[in-house]
Structure 1
Amino acid sequence: MIGPKPLAVVGDVLLDEDIEGVSTRLSPDAPAPVVDVTGDRIRPGGAGLAAALAARGDREVVLVTALGDDGASEAVRRALRGRVRLVEIPLVGTLPVKTRVLAGGRPLVRIDRGGGTPGEADGEPDCAVREALAQSHAVLVADYGRHTARAVRAHLAAVAGRMPLVWDPHPRGEAPVPGARIVTPNAAEACALTPGDGQSLRAYAERGAELAERWRAAAVAVTLGERGVLLTRAGAETPMLVPPPYRAEGDPCGAGDCFAAATAAALADGALPEEAVQRAVAEAAAFVAAGGAANPALWETAPSALPGGARETDPFALARRVRERGGTVVATGGCFDLLHAGHVGLLESARRIGDCLIVCVNSDESLARRKGPGRPLNPLADRIRVLAALGSVDAVAVFEEDTPAALLSTLRPDVWVKGGDYAAEDLPEAEVLREWGGQAVVLPYLDGRSTTLLARRAAQAAVHG
């Protein structure tokens, strides 16, 4: 099997620090909260985070950035060792350190320190940069306004016409080199770069089209937070809006880096821009739902072995990985012969309960025994493909028996979800879940939606049509 293609990340690395604590009182000398510190974590930020995220899935990633001899630079080197290969440009000054103070998981204040700038990349560093870019299949520029992109701009301009280049811009940074495949400003950056009124989709579409023309970029993807991403082109009147697959509740810190890294990785593997953006939106949503950049699992565990940075699709491996990091495994089951609105609503609600959703689906033989002649309407392979394409579904497992009891005994989910109007204790799977302390729950189901009704309606329409 062909593995993920190598990727180069060029940009400004920061050191991010989170001081976590609880606050139950105000200071006696000022109306300011007092935070009792419970933990302190540091991690690479900026281009360092983007490179680490791109390297998930055993992808070869080289990071071109400016580092110095200060403690923050050394902390970044330690955190990235074994994850990405570093090509260093000399740093004049100290690496920027951004410290967030959080109480109850919510930021109270951010403190910025340091702020060196890249020196000249003459001689050996210059050759190393040129070689790193030449060996990659795509390039991501993570510009945080610290001018690493400026130091190697000539090299970036040279490769922009030969390979996909994604540029994540900054209002104080460099303009993207002409020929960038996708530029990814967020809403605030788009507004800062194209002053004007309006927060509507139309206003952002006009901003994106204007930026694409100004930068001579093939496309501009404006990230709009919970609304998704608006993919625009110069002169195009109808942009493509890619909403997130579900509402991701969590720390959004780093979501933009995740989106840009996933977009570049998808382009490196041959995806079209529209495909790359859709994949990146889904990965960014999963990233936020898992805790964002503050998720300790990003740095406390070895890099993932998933090909291409893709999500884990083996249901048993996924369940094991989620449990290992203290997450909640949610499962549900059914025939899913004709996917309808009732199914989609149930699956979206189930996914919000925990950290992953595994769907247990009847095999063709099991479904035929349950539903009778003429079923299934769709073979197992098609049903699996449709389910796996939903953003709310992380993995699909198949069972041959009439009930999923044996499968659940191996999968051992924390929560088993069914839709309907019966009590949870009446579910046949409830007794099985008690063996390992799992919980069965019932979620509301949309009335009047069922595969049988849809099939009957289609048959009547065929007869009368």
Structure 2
Amino acid sequence: MKERKPLVVVGDVVLDEDVDGVADRLAPDAPAPVVDVRSDLRRPGGAGLAAVLAAQGGREVVLVTALGDDPASEAVRCALRGRVRLVEVPLDGTLPVKTRVMAGGRPLVRIDRGGGTPGEPDDVVREALARAQAVLVADYGRHTASTVREHLVAAARRAPLVWDPHPKGDPPVPGARIVTPNAAEVSALTGEPTAEAGRSLRDFAERGRELAERWQAATVAVTLGERGVLLTRPGDGTPMLVPAPYRAVGDTCGAGDCFAAATAAELADGALPEEAVQRAVARAASFVAAGGAGNPKLWRTTTPAHPVQAGEQDPFALAERVRAHGGTVVATGGCFDLLHAGHVGLLENARRIGDCLIVCVNSDESITRRKGPGRPLNPVEDRTRVLAGLGSVDAVAVFEEDTPTALLSRLRPDVWVKGGDYSVEDLPEAEVVCAWGGQAVVLPYLDGRSTTLLARRAAESATVLRAPRR
């Protein structure tokens, strides 16, 4: 069996603090809100967050970063223990700490403290990058990447390299597979004022192409928030827009790290840049919808030591096991009478959202009540066997009712996924999933693919074959 090499993340770690509470009055001595604190969450940020997100699902991740002897550095070490393997560069000074004071989940003010200078790397850094299946550089402008730049140049010749840039950081090394600036970073990096930047996709395409040529990068993926991601390349090639699968409402803190980490993980698994970006956009949307970097489930415990094996028999035991390790349970449902490309694409995208995918399938009687006589075309035993054989499906559960509401109340998934062009508000299961803090999302569905259309085509073909020849 071929060795699966680690994904190596290189970059600047910070300690993020979210102080959240309620602000319903002003201070008596100044026109400033008073925040009654209800929660206080500390977590690794920057490259530390990117490494944790890349490690979800059991992937081996090595984080090369600068840490010191200060309390903030020690807090980061404790939070990352059991999640990623640390390769440290010495830090002269203290680790930066970024504190967001929030009210009702909305930031009021951010306080930045600390900062240091990375020292010289040792041979362990070079060896880690030499073994990398893929490399992600999470640059936060504090020059960890510049201290190991020589090794990054060599790594870019051997493995896919993704660079998440910062206006105060170093330029990406030549040969980067994908560089992932956001709209504001593109403005700063091209010297265009923010107010004038990116008024149209053409503006972003021109600036992305300019950066790709300057950096000698294969692709520059400009992240545009709700609009999605615009892929540009050197030269006069046509840019490609990858839209977000749905409008994700939630805390966007860390969405760029999630996108970059997911992109690097997909490239490590052999995906083409276009495929990697499309899947990473979907992953970032679900990350925001689930609460972003401030989602407590992300930091509750360590991630599972091994990926969940496909074809698990007991969906309820699987859900409990994944939850016990702090993982995300994803569920979807449908008839799946004739499995087609639309189903496969939906299931693959749904599986990438979390740590396991459980498919809720209508029983034969349920389908007959919904679709009428003649359906299902395949009995439930065959349908569940085919689904369980897919690599994206971890378990299958059958329900007898017209809707999976009762089944979902037992499974209690973190995310409920449906495919189609309707809104989340139209989903009958959305309300019950929200009852335990879950999230309902809609993923795009391949046009022109449905069981009804396939059955109709088969019937028409049979009619033609039975027609007498003249």
Query: TM-score scaled to structure 2, two decimals?
Result: 0.75
Whichever residue aligns with residue 137 of structure 2, its letter is V
Match of 1:33 in 2: 33
In 2, the alpha carbon distance for the partners of 1:203 and 1:388 equals 40
- Structure 1 residue 269 displacement after superposition: 1.7
Shift in Å, 1:231: 1.5
Q: Is the 8 A contact 1:332 1:357 kept in 2?
A: no
1:144 to 140, 143, 146: 140
- Using the alignment, how far apart are the partners of 1:388 and 1:411 within structure 2? 25
Greater mean deviation of Cα atoms: 234-243 or 260-269? 234-243
Mapped contact 1:55–1:309 kept (Cα < 8 A): no
> Are the structure 2 counterparts of residues 334 and 260 from structure 1 closer, same or farther at C-alpha, using a change threshold of 3 Å?
same
The residue that corresponds to 2:210 in the other structure is: 210
The structure-2 alpha-carbon separation of the partners of 1:315 and 1:247, relative to structure 1 and needing over 3 Å to count, comes to farther
One-letter code of the match for 2:252?
A: P
CA contact (8 A) 2:366 2:402 kept: no
| Cα distance in 1 for residues equivalent to 2:34 and 2:330 | 36
Q: What are the ranges of 5 or more consecutive residues in structure 1 without an aligned counterpart?
A: 348-354, 420-428, 438-448
Q: How big is each residue's C-alpha offset from its partner over 1:93-148, in whole Å with a ceiling of 9 and x where there is no partner?
A: 111100000111111100001111112x1xxx421110110111111110000011
Instruction: Note the C-alpha offset of 1:89.
Output: 1.3
User: CA 1:136–1:313 in 2, change beyond 3 Å: closer, same or farther?
Assistant: farther
Instruction: Name the CA distance, whole Å, in 2 between partners of 1:105 and 1:187.
Output: 24
Equivalent in the alignment of 1:372: 374
Per-residue deviation, 1:407? 11
| Deviation readout 1:241-270 (Å, 9 max, x if unpaired) | 222222222111111111111111111121
For residue 156 of structure 1, report the CA deviation from its aligned partner.
0.6
CA contact (8 A) 1:68 1:92 kept: yes
Alignment of 1:315-330 (within 5 A): 316=316, 319-320=319-320
For residues 316-355 of structure 1, the aligned pairs below 5 Å read: 316=316, 319-320=319-320, 332-334=333-335, 337=338
Distance 1:329 1:6, change over 3 A: closer
CA deviation string 1:295-331 (max 9, x = no partner): 1122221213464999x99954664368767999876
Query: Deviations for 1:396-438, whole angstroms, at most 9, x for unmatched residues?
Result: 7353x8657999559725699999xxxxxxxxx9xxx9xx99x
Determine the C-alpha separation between the residues in 1 that align with 2:32 and 2:405: 53
Q: Alignment partner of 2:19: what SS?
A: strand
Shift of the 211–321 alpha-carbon distance from structure 1 to 2, 3 Å rule, reads farther
Match for residue 226 of structure 1?
226
The 3 A distance-change label for structure 1 pair 32 and 463 is: farther
Percent identical pairs in the alignment equals 69
**What count of residue pairs does the alignment treat as equivalent?**
424
Partner residue, 2:150: 154
SS at match of 1:9: strand
Q: Give the structure 2 partner of residue 423 of structure 1.
A: none
Letter of the structure 1 residue corresponding to residue 206 of structure 2: E
My pick for the range that moved more, 293-302 or 99-108, is: 293-302
Counterpart in the other structure of 1:361: 361
1:257 counterpart residue number: 257
| Stretch deviating more after TM superposition (81-90 or 44-53) | 81-90
Q: How far off its partner does 1:287 sit?
A: 1.3
- SS across alignment from 2:320: helix
1:201 aligned partner = 201
Instruction: For 1:225 and 1:236, locate their aligned partners in 2 and report how far apart those are by CA, in whole Å.
Output: 25
Give, in whole Å, the separation in 1 of the partners of 2:417 and 2:70.
52
Structure 2 gap ranges (5+): 348-354, 420-428, 437-448, 465-470
User: Which of 170, 174, 178 is the aligned partner of 1:178?
Assistant: 174
- For 2:102, give the aligned amino acid: L
Counterpart of 1:102?
102
Q: Verify the 8 A CA contact 2:363 2:400 in the aligned structure 1.
A: no
Q: Give TM-score scaled by structure 1 length.
A: 0.76
1:163 corresponds, among 159, 162, 173, to 159
Residues in 2 aligned to 1:241 and 1:85: alpha-carbon distance in whole angstroms: 35
CA contact (8 A) 1:4 1:269 kept: no
| Paired residues of 1:7 and 1:61 also in contact (CA < 8 A) | yes
The match for 2:410 among 409, 412, 428 is 412
Q: Residue type of the partner of 2:279?
A: R
Provide closer, same or farther for how the CA distance between residues 303 and 31 of structure 1 changes in structure 2, counting only shifts above 3 A. same
Which piece of structure 1 moves more, 367-376 or 297-306? Answer: 367-376
AA at the equivalent of 1:22 = V
Q: Any conservation in 2 of the 1:361–1:396 contact (CA below 8 Å)? A: no
Is the contact made by 1:186 and 1:222 (CA closer than 8 Å) also made in structure 2? yes
Q: Tell me the equivalent position of 2:59.
A: 59
Given the superposition, is the C-alpha separation of residues 225 and 306 from structure 1 closer, same or farther in structure 2, using an over 3 Å criterion?
farther
* Deviation of 1:333 (Å): 4.0
Say which SS state the counterpart of residue 115 (structure 1) adopts.
strand
| CA distance in structure 1 between the aligned counterparts of 2:145 and 2:75, rounded to whole angstroms | 22
Q: Distance in 1 between matches of 2:68 and 2:457?
A: 69
Cα distance, 1:463–1:237 mapped onto 2, change above 3 Å: farther
1:155/1:376 CA distance change after superposition, 3 Å: same
Q: Aligned letter for 2:210? A: E
Q: Distance in 2 between matches of 1:89 and 1:190?
A: 29
Equivalent in the alignment of 1:445: none
The residue type equivalent to 1:132 in the other structure is A
Match of 1:74 in 2: 74
Quote the Cα distance in structure 2 between the aligned partners of 1:297 and 1:151: 34
Name the SS for the 2:63 alignment partner: strand
Separation in structure 2 between the aligned mates of residue 359 and residue 85 of structure 1, nearest angstrom: 33
Residue 191 (1) aligns with residue 190 (2): no
Matched-pair contact (CA < 8 Å) for 2:226–2:247: yes
